[in-house]
Amino acid sequence: MVRVRFAPSPTGLPHIGNLRTALFNWLFARHHGGVFVLRIEDTDVARKVEGAEEAILSSLRWMGLDWDEGPYFQSGRLPLYQKTARALVESGHAYHCFCSTERLDEMRREQMRRKMPPGYDRLCRNLTPAQREELLALGITPVIRFRIPLEGQVRFNDLVKGQVTFNHSTLDDFVLLKADGFPTYHLANIVDDHDMRISHVLRADEWLASTPRHLLLYQALGYEPPQFVHLPMILSDDRSKLSKRHGAVSVTEFQVQGFLPQAMVNFMALLGWSLDDHTEILTQEELVRHFSVERLARTGAIFNREKLEWMNGVYLRKLTLEDFIGMAQSYLERDLPPSVPRPLNRGYLLQMAPFIQERARTLGEVSGLADFFFLVDVNYEVGLLLKGIEKDAHKQGRDVAEATPMAVEALDKAMEALEQAAVFEPEPLEQAFRVLGEELGLSPGGFFGLLRVALTGRTASPPLFNTISILSRERSLTRLAVARGKLEPTRL
């Protein structure tokens, strides 16, 4: 029976590295019809962050990673760890250490200075019972350290790294139980993985170095160790370990920016795993069906935001119009200036949404792409109006200065045409304006470009005549008039 777990510590917002680990564990469990356990490793009282736990749960839910057991909290299982630590002392696999933090710090400084590998010098390892009683009598609360065998080596077969060997001599007597009675990660992790009958440990590469300690612990406890699978890490742009200081790496942040969970899942799955030499887009079901440890990569991967954005665009376009509108609406209502009345009109959204859906890469981009549909006034530089017309003037061998009167005339005629338009639909409008453009001696690019800027305030927009018909006759006329005013301020 496959039993895996995701065991984050609530020390901050979960970042994509954490969630990718969760995803792989979840995929592995689902693929094998196993159990996915959620366990919160809250054994560090000092580093605990308020709200982190909730953020972890909500990120998992958002990504669709449902768990079958838990969340278990290590803080609620203290007696179990303490009992285990005591048993280890009794069996001779661990011992009490009375060294002060100050002494330890000094020791490490000295080791570094002498270019020696830092590590506990085992001062307390062979304390006699009498010495121990003496220190205890002084009121010092000892920690419990694991007694690493002096000779020999640990060897294990990691499912992605293969055979890995560590000499005991490179391992130091690490702490199992802290003075505050809380276990360290090493102890709690092993006790729980055993207690929860975890069969496979899929965790980030950074844990590889502590695996020999864990194996020795399993051995001392007489527990059967799980299979280890060390996942390649997700790297920041400079190839270093991802951390909070590397910008927007929390999953919550991606959610806020308007990435879809399906895209996140798909993209993250491809960071360190691949199906074959060509498949990029996979649904969650397909990922479950195909996921396998054999196809995990062994190298770290830089998180390529560009590609994520592309993929998110793909998912956005796959949405039904109704679903897209549902999501776009909340982002629009969040991002549009307060002058735009809420709630947004559903029927109006239905008209403009198709043109935005094929252009947006994230939902956060929607308002920037569509604001002119909602604003009362659009803002732009006058010069933008003339760009295309100037080109036409130049082509006709006329002076650039003539562009302004040309544009004014074009706007006047355009307003007339809009007023007279019998059917306010894209096709008839286009027909009428093409004819008009010819009459004005303007190229479609010049004429339509002028109108585009006047109506949307920008040089790139959805198709012009769709835009006009969505905006309505009245609003279009107003904007053309405003544009005219910008060109001839004195005559206004």
Partner RNA sequence: GCCCCCAUCGUCUAGAGGCCUAGGACACCGGCCUUUCAAGCCGGUAAUCGGGGGUUCGAAUCCCCCUGGGGGCACCA
Cite the active site residues.
Answer: 244
Out of 49, 136, 302, 400, point to the residue binding RNA (CB under 7 A). 302
Q: Which range binds RNA by CB under 7 A, 294-302, 334-342, 399-407, 476-484? A: 294-302
Q: How far is the CB of 416 from RNA (least distance, A)?
A: 20
Give whichever of 452 and 484 is closer to RNA, judged by the CB atom: 452
Q: Could you tell me which residues come within 8 angstroms of residue 212 by beta carbon, excluding any fewer than 6 positions away?
A: 154, 156, 166, 171
Cβ–Cβ under 8 Å, residues 232 and 272: yes
3 state SS of 447? helix
Our finding on whether 323 is near RNA (CB under 7 A) is: no
Tokens representing 341 are 């009345």
Q: How far is the CB of 310 from RNA (least distance, A)?
A: 3
3 state SS of 320? coil
Out of 58, 75, 210, 252, point to the residue binding RNA (CB under 7 A). 210
Q: Which range binds RNA by CB under 7 A, 129-137, 326-334, 341-349, 463-471? A: 463-471
Our finding on whether 286 is near RNA (CB under 7 A) is: no
Interface positions, 346-365, toward RNA (CB under 7 A): 358-359
Interface positions, 396-435, toward RNA (CB under 7 A): 426, 430
3 state SS of 442? coil
Q: How far is the CB of 48 from RNA (least distance, A)?
A: 9
Out of 96, 200, 452, 486, point to the residue binding RNA (CB under 7 A). 452
3 state SS of 156? strand
Interface positions, 264-283, toward RNA (CB under 7 A): 270-272, 274, 276-278, 280
Interface positions, 52-71, toward RNA (CB under 7 A): none
Cβ–Cβ under 8 Å, residues 100 and 67: no
Give whichever of 43 and 84 is closer to RNA, judged by the CB atom: 43
Q: How far is the CB of 21 from RNA (least distance, A)?
A: 11
In single-letter form, the type of residue at position 119 comes to G
Give whichever of 205 and 371 is closer to RNA, judged by the CB atom: 205
Our finding on whether 167 is near RNA (CB under 7 A) is: yes
Give whichever of 277 and 285 is closer to RNA, judged by the CB atom: 277
CA distances from 150 to 122, 168, 230, 416 (A): 11, 6, 26, 94
Our finding on whether 208 is near RNA (CB under 7 A) is: yes
Count of residues engaged in binding RNA, rule: CB under 7 A: 93
Q: How far is the CB of 462 from RNA (least distance, A)?
A: 6
Q: How far is the CB of 343 from RNA (least distance, A)?
A: 26
Of 179, 7, 183, 178, give the one whose Cα is nearest residue 81: 183
Interface positions, 105-144, toward RNA (CB under 7 A): 108, 115-120, 143
User: What distance in Å separates the CA atoms of residue 83 and residue 74, rounded to the nearest whole number?
Assistant: 14
Interface positions, 222-251, toward RNA (CB under 7 A): 232-233, 235, 238-241
Q: Could you tell me which residues come within 8 angstroms of residue 127 by beta carbon, excluding any fewer than 6 positions away?
A: 95, 96, 98, 135
Give whichever of 99 and 220 is closer to RNA, judged by the CB atom: 99
Out of 31, 122, 125, 178, point to the residue binding RNA (CB under 7 A). 178
Q: How far is the CB of 209 from RNA (least distance, A)?
A: 3
* 24 phi/psi in degrees, rounded to 5: -65, -40
User: What distance in Å separates the CA atoms of residue 51 and residue 70, rounded to the nearest whole number?
Assistant: 18
User: What distance in Å separates the CA atoms of residue 314 and residue 69, rounded to the nearest whole number?
Assistant: 34
User: What distance in Å separates the CA atoms of residue 332 and residue 270, rounded to the nearest whole number?
Assistant: 30
Our finding on whether 390 is near RNA (CB under 7 A) is: no
User: What distance in Å separates the CA atoms of residue 54 and residue 333, rounded to the nearest whole number?
Assistant: 26
User: What distance in Å separates the CA atoms of residue 437 and residue 434, rounded to the nearest whole number?
Assistant: 5
Out of 61, 109, 197, 307, point to the residue binding RNA (CB under 7 A). 307
Our finding on whether 371 is near RNA (CB under 7 A) is: no
Q: How far is the CB of 172 from RNA (least distance, A)?
A: 6
Of 376, 281, 285, give the one whose Cα is nearest residue 336: 376
Of 204, 258, 260, 447, give the one whose Cα is nearest residue 369: 258
Strands 143-146 and 94-97: antiparallel
Tokens representing 413 are 């005629």
Interface positions, 20-59, toward RNA (CB under 7 A): 41, 43-44, 47
